[in-house]
């Protein structure tokens, strides 16, 4: 799964990367947690242009009675998203890009769970494959939300966890955001694990364990001396 991630690059870098103006919520984030607000990228109307949207992490389907379901839908398994009631409609018409520059996974060690920050060595920003929804409360408040697709890990993430968020190659962003319904085979291809050749997993400060901490110390490297335990299944 993906339970925390980062986006520390500048607004100008994001504007250039996603070919948009400066996004909302551009303060560097070192420990983004579920239910918090984060900028996502989606297709603008029926055209080919893109736009930013500030959205809540944790998908809230339009049929939900309240927001609480979102905390349980922060991730969608790519293998089952096409058929799960919570995700299948969003897969067809509400796909989005979730900007990030790294994500955290935890590995069992003899001294407890050790967080690792998994990222590109050059610290470039990238995009997770995401799905989004709009939900309206009984008081007519509209809440936009998103989930991050997860799948099989690449060679770097697999040393830490049995799953990882799906990272999309920039060359397929246009296709992912299009209004076209993706055949199952193509959906599986787009969400397959990216190469880990340019990535690294760095053991970091356990301050990141608390969502109350969101500052550069969350990414401070720590020595790796503990023996690993069993990899988590979730």
Catalytic residue among 49, 79, 96, 105: 105
Check if the beta carbon of residue 147 is closer than 8 Å to that of residue 87: yes
Beta strands in 28-141 (DSSP E): 29-32, 37-43, 50-57, 75-77, 95-100, 102-109, 112-120, 126-136
Q: Where are the domains of the chain?
A: 5-219
For 94-126, write each residue's pLDDT tens digit: 999 999 999 999 999 888 999 999 999 999 999
Nearest to 128 by CA among 54, 76, 186, 56: 76
Task: Specify the CATH superfamily of domain 5-219.
Answer: SOS response associated peptidase-like (3.90.1680.10)
- Which of the residue ranges 121-125, 134-138, 197-201, 204-208 would you say has the lowest mean pLDDT? 134-138
Q: Is 105 a catalytic residue?
A: yes
User: What is the rounded distance in angstroms from the CA atom of residue 78 to the CA atom of residue 37?
Assistant: 23
pTM for the predicted model, two decimal places = 0.94
Q: Is 2 a catalytic residue?
A: yes
For 79-94, write each residue's pLDDT tens digit: 999 999 999 999 999 9
User: What is the rounded distance in angstroms from the CA atom of residue 105 to the CA atom of residue 222?
Assistant: 15
Nearest to 6 by CA among 205, 228, 197, 233: 205
More confident residue, 25 or 161: 161
Q: Token digits for 16?
A: 């250039």
For 21-70, write each residue's pLDDT tens digit: 888 877 999 999 999 999 999 998 766 789 999 999 999 999 999 999 99
Catalytic residue among 2, 96, 166, 218: 2
């Amino acid at each position: 799964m993906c339970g925390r991630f980062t986006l520390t690059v500048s607004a100008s870098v994001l504007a250039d990367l996603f070919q948009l103006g400066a996004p909302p919520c551009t303060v560097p984030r070192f420990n983004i947690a579920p239910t918090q607000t984060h900028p996502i990228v989606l297709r603008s109307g029926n055209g080919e242009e893109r736009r930013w949207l500030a959205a809540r992490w944790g998908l809230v389907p339009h049929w939900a009675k309240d927001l609480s379901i979102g905390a349980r839908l922060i991730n969608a398994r790519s293998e089952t998203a096409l058929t799960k009631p919570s995700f299948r409609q969003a897969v067809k018409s509400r796909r989005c890009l979730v900007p990030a520059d790294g994500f955290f996974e935890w590995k069992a060690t003899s001294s407890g769970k050790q967080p690792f920050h998994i990222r590109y060595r050059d610290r470039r920003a990238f995009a997770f494959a995401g799905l989004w929804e709009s939900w309206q409360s009984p008081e007519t408040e509209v809440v936009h939300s998103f989930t991050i697709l997860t799948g099989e890990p690449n060679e770097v993430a697999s040393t830490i966890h049995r799953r990882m968020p799906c990272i999309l190659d920039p060359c397929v962003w246009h296709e992912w955001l299009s209004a076209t319904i993706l055949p199952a085979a193509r959906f599986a291809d787009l969400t397959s694990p990216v190469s880990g050749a340019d990535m690294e997993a760095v053991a970091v400060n356990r301050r990141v364990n608390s969502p109350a901490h969101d500052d550069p110390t969350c990414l401070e490297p720590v020595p790796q001396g503990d023996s690993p335990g069993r990899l988590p299944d979730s």
